[in-house]
Amino acid sequence: MSFVSGRCSTTAIALALVAGLGMTPAAWAQTAPAAPVAADESRTIADLQRQIDELKAMVTALQAAQAQPAPAPVTTAAQAPAPATTLAQSAPPPAAISAPAAPAGDPRLAAASAPKPKGKAWYEKLRLRGYTQMRFNQIVDGPADAPAGLSRLRTMHDGDVRGDNNFSFRRMRLILQGDLNDHVSLYFQPDFAAAVSNQSVGERRENSVSLRDMYADVFPFDDKSFRIRLGQSKVPYGWENMQSSSNRLALDRTDAINSAAPGERDLGVVAYYTPPKVQAIWDRLTADGQKLFGNYGAFGFGAFNGQGLNRTEGNDGVMLVGLATWPFELDGLGLDGQVFEIGGQVMRNRVRPEVRTGGLSPASFKDDRIGIHAVLYPNPIGVQAEWNWGTGPEFVPASGRIEERPLDGGYVQVMGKIDESPIGPFYPFARWQYYRGGLKTAINAARLETEELELGFEFQLDPALEITTTYGFAKRKEADERRFGQAEGQILRIQAQWNY
Protein backbone atom coordinates (compact mmCIF):
# COMPACT_ATOMS: atom_id res chain seq x y z
CA MET A 1 0.00 0.00 0.00
CA SER A 2 2.81 2.40 0.86
CA PHE A 3 4.55 1.64 -2.43
CA VAL A 4 1.39 2.38 -4.41
CA SER A 5 0.74 5.55 -2.38
CA GLY A 6 4.32 6.73 -2.97
CA ARG A 7 4.06 6.01 -6.66
CA CYS A 8 0.76 7.90 -6.92
CA SER A 9 2.15 10.83 -4.98
CA THR A 10 5.23 11.07 -7.24
CA THR A 11 3.10 10.77 -10.35
CA ALA A 12 0.77 13.50 -9.12
CA ILE A 13 3.67 15.85 -8.48
CA ALA A 14 5.08 15.22 -11.92
CA LEU A 15 1.71 15.83 -13.57
CA ALA A 16 1.28 19.01 -11.55
CA LEU A 17 4.68 20.34 -12.63
CA VAL A 18 3.93 19.39 -16.21
CA ALA A 19 0.66 21.30 -16.05
CA GLY A 20 2.45 24.27 -14.45
CA LEU A 21 4.96 24.33 -17.28
CA GLY A 22 2.20 24.36 -19.86
CA MET A 23 3.02 20.92 -21.27
CA THR A 24 0.40 18.47 -22.48
CA PRO A 25 0.42 14.89 -21.27
CA ALA A 26 1.24 13.83 -24.81
CA ALA A 27 4.33 16.06 -24.87
CA TRP A 28 5.36 14.81 -21.46
CA ALA A 29 4.94 11.25 -22.60
CA GLN A 30 7.35 11.90 -25.44
CA THR A 31 10.03 12.98 -22.95
CA ALA A 32 9.47 10.04 -20.60
CA PRO A 33 11.13 6.71 -21.32
CA ALA A 34 8.81 4.05 -22.74
CA ALA A 35 8.60 0.75 -20.89
CA PRO A 36 6.03 -1.83 -19.91
CA VAL A 37 4.18 -0.81 -16.79
CA ALA A 38 4.72 -4.01 -14.94
CA ALA A 39 8.36 -4.77 -15.80
CA ASP A 40 9.93 -1.31 -15.85
CA GLU A 41 7.80 0.44 -13.27
CA SER A 42 10.68 1.08 -10.88
CA ARG A 43 12.84 2.62 -13.62
CA THR A 44 10.00 4.83 -14.80
CA ILE A 45 9.44 6.16 -11.30
CA ALA A 46 13.16 6.89 -10.92
CA ASP A 47 13.28 8.77 -14.22
CA LEU A 48 10.21 10.80 -13.30
CA GLN A 49 11.69 11.62 -9.91
CA ARG A 50 14.96 12.76 -11.52
CA GLN A 51 13.13 15.08 -13.94
CA ILE A 52 10.99 16.46 -11.14
CA ASP A 53 14.13 17.22 -9.11
CA GLU A 54 15.69 19.01 -12.09
CA LEU A 55 12.55 21.09 -12.63
CA LYS A 56 12.43 21.94 -8.93
CA ALA A 57 16.06 23.16 -9.07
CA MET A 58 15.28 25.30 -12.11
CA VAL A 59 12.28 26.86 -10.41
CA THR A 60 14.25 27.56 -7.22
CA ALA A 61 17.17 29.13 -9.12
CA LEU A 62 14.92 31.41 -11.17
CA GLN A 63 13.00 32.52 -8.13
CA ALA A 64 16.23 33.32 -6.26
CA ALA A 65 17.52 35.33 -9.21
CA GLN A 66 14.28 37.34 -9.33
CA ALA A 67 14.42 37.91 -5.56
CA GLN A 68 10.96 36.38 -5.12
CA PRO A 69 9.83 34.56 -1.99
CA ALA A 70 10.85 30.92 -1.95
CA PRO A 71 8.12 28.53 -3.14
CA ALA A 72 6.34 26.32 -0.70
CA PRO A 73 8.17 23.03 -0.15
CA VAL A 74 6.96 20.13 -2.26
CA THR A 75 5.27 17.43 -0.27
CA THR A 76 7.17 14.26 0.41
CA ALA A 77 6.06 10.78 -0.59
CA ALA A 78 4.46 10.27 2.79
CA GLN A 79 2.30 13.39 2.43
CA ALA A 80 -0.72 14.00 0.29
CA PRO A 81 0.14 15.72 -2.99
CA ALA A 82 -0.83 19.34 -3.44
CA PRO A 83 -3.48 20.10 -6.02
CA ALA A 84 -2.11 20.67 -9.51
CA THR A 85 -3.70 24.10 -9.66
CA THR A 86 -1.66 25.28 -6.62
CA LEU A 87 1.64 24.19 -8.15
CA ALA A 88 0.68 25.74 -11.43
CA GLN A 89 0.10 29.11 -9.76
CA SER A 90 3.44 29.07 -7.94
CA ALA A 91 5.46 27.95 -10.98
CA PRO A 92 6.89 30.57 -13.32
CA PRO A 93 5.33 31.03 -16.77
CA PRO A 94 6.76 28.96 -19.62
CA ALA A 95 8.65 31.92 -21.11
CA ALA A 96 10.55 32.42 -17.88
CA ILE A 97 12.05 28.92 -17.99
CA SER A 98 12.49 28.46 -21.68
CA ALA A 99 16.32 28.68 -21.25
CA PRO A 100 18.32 26.38 -18.96
CA ALA A 101 19.20 27.95 -15.62
CA ALA A 102 22.24 27.52 -13.41
CA PRO A 103 21.87 25.49 -10.24
CA ALA A 104 20.77 27.21 -7.07
CA GLY A 105 23.61 28.95 -5.25
CA ASP A 106 25.64 29.56 -8.45
CA PRO A 107 27.82 32.67 -7.83
CA ARG A 108 27.02 33.89 -11.34
CA LEU A 109 23.42 34.39 -10.30
CA ALA A 110 24.49 36.42 -7.27
CA ALA A 111 26.79 38.58 -9.40
CA ALA A 112 24.04 39.19 -11.93
CA SER A 113 21.51 40.17 -9.29
CA ALA A 114 23.94 42.33 -7.21
CA PRO A 115 23.96 46.08 -8.06
CA LYS A 116 27.08 47.28 -9.89
CA PRO A 117 29.36 49.45 -7.70
CA LYS A 118 29.16 53.13 -8.59
CA GLY A 119 32.45 54.66 -9.73
CA LYS A 120 33.93 57.55 -7.76
CA ALA A 121 33.29 61.05 -9.00
CA TRP A 122 36.40 62.97 -10.11
CA TYR A 123 36.40 65.17 -6.99
CA GLU A 124 36.46 62.06 -4.79
CA LYS A 125 39.74 60.96 -6.39
CA LEU A 126 41.70 64.10 -5.45
CA ARG A 127 43.80 64.57 -2.32
CA LEU A 128 45.11 67.69 -0.64
CA ARG A 129 48.60 67.97 0.88
CA GLY A 130 51.28 70.60 1.30
CA TYR A 131 54.10 72.05 3.36
CA THR A 132 55.19 75.33 4.95
CA GLN A 133 58.71 76.69 5.46
CA MET A 134 59.47 79.34 8.07
CA ARG A 135 63.00 80.77 8.18
CA PHE A 136 65.32 82.80 10.32
CA ASN A 137 68.14 84.53 8.38
CA GLN A 138 70.98 86.36 10.10
CA ILE A 139 73.96 88.04 8.44
CA VAL A 140 76.61 87.24 11.05
CA ASP A 141 79.46 89.05 9.34
CA GLY A 142 79.64 91.20 6.21
CA PRO A 143 77.85 94.15 4.59
CA ALA A 144 74.17 93.76 5.37
CA ASP A 145 73.97 97.32 4.04
CA ALA A 146 76.47 99.24 1.94
CA PRO A 147 76.88 102.67 0.36
CA ALA A 148 75.33 103.19 -3.07
CA GLY A 149 77.34 101.54 -5.81
CA LEU A 150 78.74 98.73 -3.64
CA SER A 151 77.30 95.23 -3.37
CA ARG A 152 75.53 94.14 -0.21
CA LEU A 153 75.34 90.55 0.98
CA ARG A 154 72.28 89.21 -0.82
CA THR A 155 71.03 86.02 -2.50
CA MET A 156 69.00 85.67 -5.70
CA HIS A 157 66.67 83.10 -4.08
CA ASP A 158 65.64 84.59 -0.74
CA GLY A 159 64.86 88.30 -0.51
CA ASP A 160 64.78 88.06 3.28
CA VAL A 161 68.58 87.69 3.51
CA ARG A 162 69.09 91.37 4.39
CA GLY A 163 69.87 93.63 7.30
CA ASP A 164 66.42 94.46 8.68
CA ASN A 165 64.84 91.06 8.93
CA ASN A 166 64.21 88.26 11.41
CA PHE A 167 61.56 85.63 10.71
CA SER A 168 59.85 85.06 7.36
CA PHE A 169 57.80 82.55 5.43
CA ARG A 170 59.73 81.18 2.48
CA ARG A 171 57.03 78.87 1.12
CA MET A 172 53.41 78.03 1.96
CA ARG A 173 52.27 75.43 -0.53
CA LEU A 174 49.00 73.59 -0.96
CA ILE A 175 48.93 70.77 -3.51
CA LEU A 176 45.74 69.35 -5.01
CA GLN A 177 46.35 66.25 -7.09
CA GLY A 178 44.75 63.01 -8.19
CA ASP A 179 43.60 60.86 -11.09
CA LEU A 180 40.54 62.14 -12.92
CA ASN A 181 40.32 58.76 -14.64
CA ASP A 182 42.68 56.00 -15.81
CA HIS A 183 44.39 58.23 -18.36
CA VAL A 184 44.30 61.81 -17.02
CA SER A 185 45.61 63.21 -13.72
CA LEU A 186 45.61 66.71 -12.23
CA TYR A 187 48.28 68.66 -10.31
CA PHE A 188 47.59 72.14 -8.90
CA GLN A 189 49.99 74.02 -6.58
CA PRO A 190 49.72 77.67 -5.51
CA ASP A 191 52.17 79.38 -3.16
CA PHE A 192 50.84 81.71 -0.47
CA ALA A 193 54.24 83.18 0.49
CA ALA A 194 55.18 85.00 -2.72
CA ALA A 195 56.38 88.62 -2.61
CA VAL A 196 55.00 91.19 -5.04
CA SER A 197 57.15 94.22 -5.87
CA ASN A 198 56.40 97.41 -7.84
CA GLN A 199 53.89 98.61 -5.28
CA SER A 200 53.66 102.26 -4.26
CA VAL A 201 57.14 103.77 -3.72
CA GLY A 202 58.65 100.31 -4.31
CA GLU A 203 57.40 98.71 -1.06
CA ARG A 204 57.18 94.93 -1.16
CA ARG A 205 54.04 93.02 -0.29
CA GLU A 206 54.62 89.69 1.44
CA ASN A 207 52.56 86.47 1.50
CA SER A 208 50.79 87.00 -1.79
CA VAL A 209 49.36 84.11 -3.79
CA SER A 210 51.32 82.97 -6.83
CA LEU A 211 50.63 80.09 -9.20
CA ARG A 212 53.41 77.52 -9.24
CA ASP A 213 52.01 74.45 -10.98
CA MET A 214 48.84 73.80 -12.91
CA TYR A 215 49.01 70.89 -15.31
CA ALA A 216 47.32 67.73 -16.51
CA ASP A 217 49.21 64.51 -17.15
CA VAL A 218 47.88 62.41 -20.03
CA PHE A 219 48.81 58.71 -20.01
CA PRO A 220 48.25 57.11 -23.45
CA PHE A 221 49.23 53.64 -22.16
CA ASP A 222 47.93 51.65 -19.21
CA ASP A 223 51.35 51.14 -17.58
CA LYS A 224 51.81 54.96 -17.27
CA SER A 225 55.47 54.77 -18.22
CA PHE A 226 54.89 57.54 -20.78
CA ARG A 227 53.11 60.79 -20.04
CA ILE A 228 52.36 64.08 -21.79
CA ARG A 229 52.22 67.07 -19.43
CA LEU A 230 50.08 70.07 -20.42
CA GLY A 231 50.17 73.39 -18.56
CA GLN A 232 52.54 75.23 -16.24
CA SER A 233 55.14 72.87 -14.80
CA LYS A 234 58.84 72.49 -14.12
CA VAL A 235 61.28 72.95 -16.98
CA PRO A 236 63.34 69.72 -17.26
CA TYR A 237 66.73 71.38 -16.91
CA GLY A 238 68.93 70.77 -13.87
CA TRP A 239 68.68 67.90 -11.40
CA GLU A 240 68.28 70.19 -8.39
CA ASN A 241 65.79 72.38 -10.28
CA MET A 242 63.54 69.36 -10.66
CA GLN A 243 63.95 68.33 -7.03
CA SER A 244 61.21 69.65 -4.76
CA SER A 245 62.18 72.33 -2.23
CA SER A 246 60.46 70.17 0.39
CA ASN A 247 62.93 67.38 -0.34
CA ARG A 248 66.20 69.30 -0.92
CA LEU A 249 68.90 69.44 1.76
CA ALA A 250 70.25 72.95 1.07
CA LEU A 251 67.79 75.76 1.67
CA ASP A 252 68.18 77.30 -1.80
CA ARG A 253 69.12 76.12 -5.26
CA THR A 254 72.48 77.20 -6.66
CA ASP A 255 72.87 80.31 -8.83
CA ALA A 256 74.53 78.50 -11.73
CA ILE A 257 71.81 75.90 -12.27
CA ASN A 258 68.75 77.88 -11.26
CA SER A 259 69.67 80.87 -13.45
CA ALA A 260 68.72 78.65 -16.42
CA ALA A 261 65.09 78.61 -15.25
CA PRO A 262 64.48 80.95 -12.30
CA GLY A 263 61.31 79.82 -10.59
CA GLU A 264 61.94 76.43 -12.26
CA ARG A 265 58.65 76.60 -14.22
CA ASP A 266 57.12 77.80 -17.45
CA LEU A 267 54.01 77.27 -19.56
CA GLY A 268 54.18 74.60 -22.23
CA VAL A 269 54.05 70.94 -23.18
CA VAL A 270 56.52 68.28 -22.10
CA ALA A 271 56.72 64.50 -22.57
CA TYR A 272 58.33 62.12 -20.06
CA TYR A 273 59.23 58.46 -20.35
CA THR A 274 60.37 56.21 -17.49
CA PRO A 275 61.27 52.57 -18.24
CA PRO A 276 59.89 50.12 -15.67
CA LYS A 277 63.45 49.10 -14.68
CA VAL A 278 64.32 52.70 -13.78
CA GLN A 279 61.04 53.20 -11.96
CA ALA A 280 61.73 50.12 -9.82
CA ILE A 281 65.11 51.56 -8.73
CA TRP A 282 63.59 54.94 -7.88
CA ASP A 283 60.77 53.28 -5.93
CA ARG A 284 63.34 51.38 -3.85
CA LEU A 285 65.33 54.56 -3.18
CA THR A 286 62.17 56.40 -2.12
CA ALA A 287 61.26 53.60 0.30
CA ASP A 288 64.78 53.85 1.72
CA GLY A 289 64.31 57.54 2.54
CA GLN A 290 66.58 58.93 -0.19
CA LYS A 291 65.97 62.46 -1.46
CA LEU A 292 65.22 62.02 -5.15
CA PHE A 293 64.53 64.69 -7.75
CA GLY A 294 61.02 63.38 -8.28
CA ASN A 295 59.59 61.27 -11.06
CA TYR A 296 60.07 63.55 -14.03
CA GLY A 297 61.07 60.71 -16.29
CA ALA A 298 64.35 59.15 -17.25
CA PHE A 299 63.88 61.00 -20.53
CA GLY A 300 62.07 64.29 -21.01
CA PHE A 301 61.58 66.73 -23.86
CA GLY A 302 59.49 69.90 -23.76
CA ALA A 303 58.56 73.12 -25.52
CA PHE A 304 57.79 76.21 -23.39
CA ASN A 305 57.14 79.92 -23.81
CA GLY A 306 60.66 80.63 -22.57
CA GLN A 307 60.08 84.00 -20.89
CA GLY A 308 59.92 82.58 -17.37
CA LEU A 309 57.54 81.78 -14.52
CA ASN A 310 54.26 83.74 -14.65
CA ARG A 311 55.67 86.12 -17.26
CA THR A 312 53.92 87.10 -20.47
CA GLU A 313 55.51 85.59 -23.55
CA GLY A 314 57.78 88.14 -25.22
CA ASN A 315 58.40 86.68 -28.70
CA ASP A 316 57.00 84.12 -31.11
CA GLY A 317 59.71 81.53 -30.45
CA VAL A 318 59.63 78.60 -28.04
CA MET A 319 62.17 77.28 -25.57
CA LEU A 320 63.19 73.68 -26.29
CA VAL A 321 64.55 71.62 -23.40
CA GLY A 322 65.67 68.01 -23.16
CA LEU A 323 66.82 65.89 -20.19
CA ALA A 324 68.12 62.35 -19.75
CA THR A 325 69.12 60.60 -16.53
CA TRP A 326 69.83 56.96 -15.66
CA PRO A 327 70.45 55.21 -12.30
CA PHE A 328 72.87 52.30 -11.98
CA GLU A 329 72.79 49.82 -9.08
CA LEU A 330 76.30 49.19 -7.76
CA ASP A 331 75.69 45.84 -6.07
CA GLY A 332 78.00 44.14 -8.57
CA LEU A 333 80.88 46.38 -7.44
CA GLY A 334 80.52 45.40 -3.80
CA LEU A 335 78.52 48.53 -2.88
CA ASP A 336 75.34 46.74 -1.91
CA GLY A 337 72.27 48.97 -1.95
CA GLN A 338 74.08 51.98 -3.41
CA VAL A 339 72.96 53.69 -6.63
CA PHE A 340 74.85 56.02 -8.96
CA GLU A 341 72.86 58.25 -11.31
CA ILE A 342 74.24 60.26 -14.20
CA GLY A 343 72.70 62.37 -16.94
CA GLY A 344 72.60 65.63 -18.82
CA GLN A 345 70.33 68.32 -20.21
CA VAL A 346 70.24 70.88 -23.00
CA MET A 347 68.34 74.16 -23.52
CA ARG A 348 67.80 76.29 -26.61
CA ASN A 349 65.93 79.58 -26.23
CA ARG A 350 65.73 83.28 -26.96
CA VAL A 351 64.58 85.70 -24.27
CA ARG A 352 63.78 89.40 -23.83
CA PRO A 353 64.94 90.64 -20.37
CA GLU A 354 63.24 93.45 -18.51
CA VAL A 355 65.00 96.80 -18.78
CA ARG A 356 65.25 99.50 -16.17
CA THR A 357 63.49 102.08 -18.30
CA GLY A 358 60.40 99.84 -18.30
CA GLY A 359 59.06 96.95 -20.34
CA LEU A 360 61.14 94.41 -22.22
CA SER A 361 64.26 94.82 -24.27
CA PRO A 362 63.52 95.49 -27.97
CA ALA A 363 65.67 92.54 -29.05
CA SER A 364 65.69 88.87 -28.09
CA PHE A 365 68.95 87.36 -26.83
CA LYS A 366 70.36 83.88 -27.17
CA ASP A 367 69.75 81.75 -24.08
CA ASP A 368 71.42 78.41 -24.80
CA ARG A 369 72.90 75.95 -22.27
CA ILE A 370 74.17 72.44 -21.83
CA GLY A 371 74.67 70.71 -18.47
CA ILE A 372 75.63 67.46 -16.79
CA HIS A 373 74.79 65.96 -13.39
CA ALA A 374 75.86 63.00 -11.28
CA VAL A 375 74.51 61.67 -7.98
CA LEU A 376 75.89 58.94 -5.73
CA TYR A 377 73.01 58.41 -3.30
CA PRO A 378 74.28 58.35 0.31
CA ASN A 379 74.59 54.94 1.92
CA PRO A 380 75.68 56.35 4.28
CA ILE A 381 77.93 58.84 2.35
CA GLY A 382 77.07 60.29 -1.05
CA VAL A 383 78.05 62.97 -3.56
CA GLN A 384 75.95 65.19 -5.81
CA ALA A 385 77.31 67.51 -8.50
CA GLU A 386 76.15 69.57 -11.48
CA TRP A 387 77.82 71.92 -13.95
CA ASN A 388 76.60 73.83 -16.98
CA TRP A 389 77.95 76.09 -19.73
CA GLY A 390 76.27 78.37 -22.21
CA THR A 391 75.51 81.81 -23.58
CA GLY A 392 72.96 84.23 -22.21
CA PRO A 393 72.02 87.89 -21.85
CA GLU A 394 74.20 89.96 -19.48
CA PHE A 395 74.52 93.66 -18.75
CA VAL A 396 77.96 95.03 -19.68
CA PRO A 397 78.81 98.19 -17.68
CA ALA A 398 81.46 99.30 -20.18
CA SER A 399 78.94 99.55 -23.00
CA GLY A 400 75.87 100.19 -20.85
CA ARG A 401 73.97 97.58 -22.83
CA ILE A 402 72.70 94.00 -22.55
CA GLU A 403 74.83 91.66 -24.66
CA GLU A 404 75.16 87.94 -25.28
CA ARG A 405 77.96 86.70 -23.03
CA PRO A 406 79.33 83.25 -22.02
CA LEU A 407 78.38 81.75 -18.67
CA ASP A 408 79.42 78.75 -16.61
CA GLY A 409 79.10 77.36 -13.12
CA GLY A 410 77.84 74.59 -10.92
CA TYR A 411 78.23 72.95 -7.52
CA VAL A 412 79.55 69.94 -5.65
CA GLN A 413 77.78 68.61 -2.56
CA VAL A 414 78.81 65.89 -0.11
CA MET A 415 76.07 64.51 2.12
CA GLY A 416 75.44 61.78 4.65
CA LYS A 417 72.38 59.76 5.65
CA ILE A 418 72.03 58.53 9.23
CA ASP A 419 68.74 56.73 9.69
CA GLU A 420 68.88 56.39 13.49
CA SER A 421 70.05 59.05 15.93
CA PRO A 422 68.76 60.52 19.22
CA ILE A 423 66.99 63.26 17.24
CA GLY A 424 65.69 61.07 14.40
CA PRO A 425 66.91 60.69 10.80
CA PHE A 426 69.92 62.95 10.30
CA TYR A 427 71.39 64.37 7.05
CA PRO A 428 74.64 66.37 7.31
CA PHE A 429 75.92 68.06 4.14
CA ALA A 430 78.48 70.49 2.73
CA ARG A 431 78.04 72.32 -0.58
CA TRP A 432 80.33 74.55 -2.64
CA GLN A 433 78.93 76.55 -5.55
CA TYR A 434 80.36 78.81 -8.26
CA TYR A 435 78.81 80.95 -11.02
CA ARG A 436 79.82 83.61 -13.50
CA GLY A 437 77.10 84.87 -15.82
CA GLY A 438 73.96 86.91 -16.24
CA LEU A 439 70.60 86.51 -14.52
CA LYS A 440 68.03 86.80 -17.28
CA THR A 441 65.07 87.47 -14.98
CA ALA A 442 66.78 90.37 -13.18
CA ILE A 443 66.37 93.95 -14.35
CA ASN A 444 68.85 94.52 -17.21
CA ALA A 445 70.01 90.87 -16.88
CA ALA A 446 72.53 91.81 -14.18
CA ARG A 447 75.73 89.76 -13.84
CA LEU A 448 76.16 87.36 -10.92
CA GLU A 449 79.52 86.45 -9.41
CA THR A 450 79.02 83.77 -6.77
CA GLU A 451 81.35 81.69 -4.62
CA GLU A 452 79.92 80.08 -1.51
CA LEU A 453 80.66 77.25 0.90
CA GLU A 454 77.68 76.12 2.94
CA LEU A 455 77.72 73.67 5.86
CA GLY A 456 74.50 72.31 7.27
CA PHE A 457 72.38 69.47 8.54
CA GLU A 458 68.75 68.42 8.47
CA PHE A 459 67.05 66.30 11.07
CA GLN A 460 63.50 65.03 11.30
CA LEU A 461 62.01 65.24 14.75
CA ASP A 462 58.87 63.75 13.29
CA PRO A 463 57.76 62.79 9.76
CA ALA A 464 55.68 65.97 9.84
CA LEU A 465 58.47 68.27 11.09
CA GLU A 466 61.97 68.89 9.66
CA ILE A 467 64.60 71.32 10.97
CA THR A 468 67.48 72.51 8.76
CA THR A 469 70.38 74.67 9.93
CA THR A 470 73.11 76.06 7.66
CA TYR A 471 76.14 78.32 8.04
CA GLY A 472 77.52 79.86 4.86
CA PHE A 473 80.75 81.59 3.87
CA ALA A 474 79.74 83.69 0.86
CA LYS A 475 81.24 85.98 -1.76
CA ARG A 476 78.45 87.41 -3.88
CA LYS A 477 77.84 90.16 -6.38
CA GLU A 478 74.37 91.53 -5.86
CA ALA A 479 71.91 91.03 -8.73
CA ASP A 480 71.84 94.71 -9.62
CA GLU A 481 73.94 96.23 -12.38
CA ARG A 482 74.21 99.49 -10.42
CA ARG A 483 76.25 97.90 -7.63
CA PHE A 484 79.82 96.69 -8.22
CA GLY A 485 82.27 94.38 -6.48
CA GLN A 486 81.58 91.29 -4.39
CA ALA A 487 80.15 91.38 -0.88
CA GLU A 488 81.84 88.88 1.43
CA GLY A 489 80.47 87.56 4.72
CA GLN A 490 78.89 84.79 6.76
CA ILE A 491 75.20 83.90 7.04
CA LEU A 492 73.35 81.78 9.63
CA ARG A 493 70.06 80.33 8.48
CA ILE A 494 67.52 78.09 10.23
CA GLN A 495 64.40 76.64 8.67
CA ALA A 496 61.43 74.76 10.12
CA GLN A 497 59.32 72.81 7.65
CA TRP A 498 56.09 71.10 8.54
CA ASN A 499 54.43 68.71 6.12
CA TYR A 500 50.72 67.98 5.94
Residue 354: predicted pLDDT: 95
The CA distances from residue 421 to 146, 250, 288, 426, 461, in Å, are 43, 20, 16, 7, 10
What residues contact residue 72 under an 8 Å CB cut-off, 6+ apart? 82, 90
- DSSP H helices, 206-321, are 239-242, 255-258, 276-287
Report all structural domains of the chain as residue ranges with CATH numbers, in order of start.
2-113 (no CATH), 122-499 (2.40.160.10)
Task: Say what the pTM is.
Answer: 0.75
The pLDDT, as a whole number, for residue 36 is: 46
Q: What is the pLDDT of residue 295?
A: 74
As averages over each run of 10 residues, the pLDDT of the chain (500 residues) reads 42 44 44 48 76 80 63 43 41 44 52 65 88 97 94 93 92 96 96 74 72 97 95 97 96 98 97 96 94 91 96 94 97 89 98 94 97 97 98 96 98 95 91 98 96 97 94 95 94 97
Residue 282: predicted pLDDT: 96
pLDDT of residue 49: 79
Beta bridge partners of 410: 387, 434
Q: Are 388 and 260 a contacting pair, CB within 8 Å? A: yes
Dihedral Cα 482, 486, 490, 495, nearest 10 deg: 50
> What is the predicted pLDDT for the residue at 225?
95
What does the alpha-carbon distance between residue 252 and residue 158 come to, in Å, rounded to a whole number?
8
What one-character DSSP code corresponds to residue 47?
Answer: H
Residues 6 or more apart in contact with residue 111 via CB below 8 angstroms: none
